[in-house]
Amino acid sequence: MSGTLHRISRSVIIAAPIEQVFHFHDNTDNLLKITPPHIKVAIESRGMPGLGYEVHLRVRQFGLLTMNWHVKITEYVSPTRMVDEQISGPFASWKQMRDLRVVDGGTELTDTVEYAVPFGPLGQLANWLVIQREIEGMFAYRQQATKRLLEAST
């Protein structure tokens, strides 16, 4: 890993059982349902959900930038915690943590991402201008889409 480590975290309450919220996130097909419309994701390959699960994605953003992304589940504690880390992809490092807990009214899902951008000062400038806002917007969209889909199915 190189560069400054950035951290973004946000939570949402979903009126659904914790097991349902957890397993929604270990089904890669659901990623396609909760990705913002301006980001196109294709699943190139995947294994079976659980610890060590690996996924290869092709991500197209801004209509022209295509990235290959290989992530692996490095922590899998059903139904409370799932962590995936970038093996290869667009970031110098990427670690996403999903923490779930039972609360009144359902499940609290907290998404936290720790990432570092490549390209030194130029990457830091890109992060300040675009990348951080894109990540924040993506997680806000994903959480609201997850909430809408799961609450509609319960």
Whether 79 is in a domain gets the answer yes
CA distance 148 to 78: 22
* 42-69 pLDDT tens trace: 999 888 889 999 999 999 876 677 899 9
Whether 97 is in a domain gets the answer yes
Q: What is the pLDDT of residue 2?
A: 54
Token pair 């996924």 in the structure block, residue: 55
Whether 118 is in a domain gets the answer yes
Contacts of 107 (CB under 8 A, 6+ apart): 13, 14, 16, 17, 18, 20, 21, 100, 101
Buried b (16+ CB within 10 A) or exposed e, 116-140: bbeeeeebbeebeeebeeebeebbe
- Please determine, for residue 87, whether its predicted confidence score (pLDDT) is greater than 90: yes
Range of the domain at 120: 6-153
* 100-150 pLDDT tens trace: 999 998 999 999 999 999 999 999 999 999 999 999 999 999 999 999 999
Q: What is the pLDDT of residue 154?
A: 65
- Number of domains observed in the structure of the chain: 1
Whether 1 is in a domain gets the answer no
- Span 10-17, average pLDDT: 97
